[in-house]
Copies of this chain bind each other. A is one copy, B any other.
Amino acid sequence: MESKAKWQKLRSRAHEIIFEADTFWGKLFDVVLLIAILLSVVAVMLETVNGIRIEYGTFLVKIEWFFTILFTIEYIARLLSVKKPLKYATSFFGIIDLLSILPSYIGLFISGAQAFMILRSIRLLRVFRVLKMVRFLGEASELSRALRASRPKITVFVGGVFIMVVILGTLMYVIENGENGFTSIPKSIYWAVVTLTTVGYGDIAPQTPLGQAVATFIMILGYGIIAVPTGIVTSEMASNREKASINTISCPSCGAEGHRDDAIHCFRCGAPLHV
């Protein structure tokens, strides 16, 4: 009995350190973890640079295994310290935590899998917990709320752009007659996207006068319709802001609405708002 209570206390303490960031040890754990993630991500990156791999290759592999084992221990500790391990394992961060250690083990059998260790960079999102968490998460949720509210409009927009790009790409394929890089319709569509989004690599560029005229049209089109997603998101954000700054209280005396959030008295009749 006593050992169970002791175990529960230990787990609750472990939970506090591993999952929260309000106590000193909890914060320290998260900061150390973030540095470890950053170092391991940098190690994975550097290993792909030729000059560095030749000189420090074996050292980098050792570092990667060191972090992989560290993260494996951490993953097991997380599983043990929560009451419902399955719930954590299937949560967003639980899956990411698993995905960030799996590639190393899979890489033992299938070469090339190590590159996916880079997925552990997603774990860096935990940084928002160490910083003034609530505030930043609030901003993130406000951002994602605005983006979610804009989704139907953005779906219509992306759908329209998709069809536009297919037709313009095909048109250019016909005009340039399969030459100057426009060797197939998919490649021409790729070019149309490169042009419409104003990226403009220049690896494929029209050479015929008619092709350049159509390209000019596509560019001005792309320059103009970039205004559409911007307009959607901006008006959504501005609207969130307005809703946030004026409350919905109705004056109990005269019924006036649209009070400032910090108003105590009705701005029209002067009656107290909160009786």
Q: Which residues of A are interface residues toward B (Cβ below 8 A)?
A: 41, 44-46, 48-50, 112, 115-116, 118-119, 121-122, 124-125, 127-128, 135-136, 139-140, 142-143, 146-147, 152-159, 161, 163, 166-167, 170, 173-174, 178, 183-187, 189-190, 193-203, 205, 209, 212-213, 215-216, 219-220, 222-224, 226-241, 245, 256-272
A166 to B195, CA, bound (A): 20
Query: When A and B form their complex, which 8 residue pairs have the shortest distance between CB atoms, in order from nearest?
Result: A265-B270, A199-B200, A201-B202, A263-B267, A231-B233, A118-B170, A197-B223, A231-B234
5 CB-based A-B contacts, threshold 8 Å: A48-B183, A190-B212, A193-B219, A197-B198, A234-B238
Contacts of A48 in B (CB 8 A): 173, 178, 183-186
Q: Indicate if the CB atoms of A220 and B193 lie closer than 8 Å.
A: yes
Interface of A is mostly: helix
Contact between A44 and B185 (Cβ–Cβ < 8 Å)? yes
CB distance from A244 to the nearest CB of B (A): 9
Asked whether A231 lies within 8 Å of B200 as measured between CB atoms, the reply is: no
Q: State in angstroms the CA–CA spacing of A230 and B226 once bound together.
A: 7
Could you tell me if B202 and A121 are in contact, using CB atoms closer than 8 angstroms?
Answer: no
A165 to chain B, nearest CB (A): 9
Contact among B140, B159, B231 with A237 in the assembled complex (CB-CB below 8 Å): B231
CB atoms of B219 and A199 under 8 A apart: yes
The answer to whether A229 touches B227, judged by C-beta atoms less than 8 angstroms apart, is yes
Contact of A234 among B122, B230, B261 (CB under 8 A): B230
Complex: A140 Cα to B157 Cα, angstroms: 8
Given contacts A116-B174, A258-B262, A264-B270, 10 further A-B pairs with CB under 8 A are A46-B186, A139-B152, A161-B220, A193-B219, A199-B222, A201-B201, A223-B226, A227-B233, A264-B268, A266-B270
User: B222 contacts A146, CB within 8 Å?
Assistant: no
In Å, the complex CA distance between A186 and B53 comes to 13
- A223: which B residues are within 8 A, CB to CB? 196-198, 222, 226, 229
- Closest residue of chain B to A207, judged by CB? B203
By a CB distance below 8 angstroms, the chain B residues around A262 are 256-258, 267-268
- Known pairs A235-B234, A267-B260; A156 contacts B143 (CB<8 A): yes
Q: How far is the CB of A250 from chain B (nearest CB, A)?
A: 10
- Complex CA gap A271/B264 in Å reads 11
Distance in Å: Cβ of A199 to nearest Cβ of chain B: 4
Knowing A163-B124, A190-B215, the reply to whether A197 touches B184 (Cβ < 8 A) is: no
What residues of B have a CB within 8 angstroms of the CB of A241 in the complex?
235, 238-239
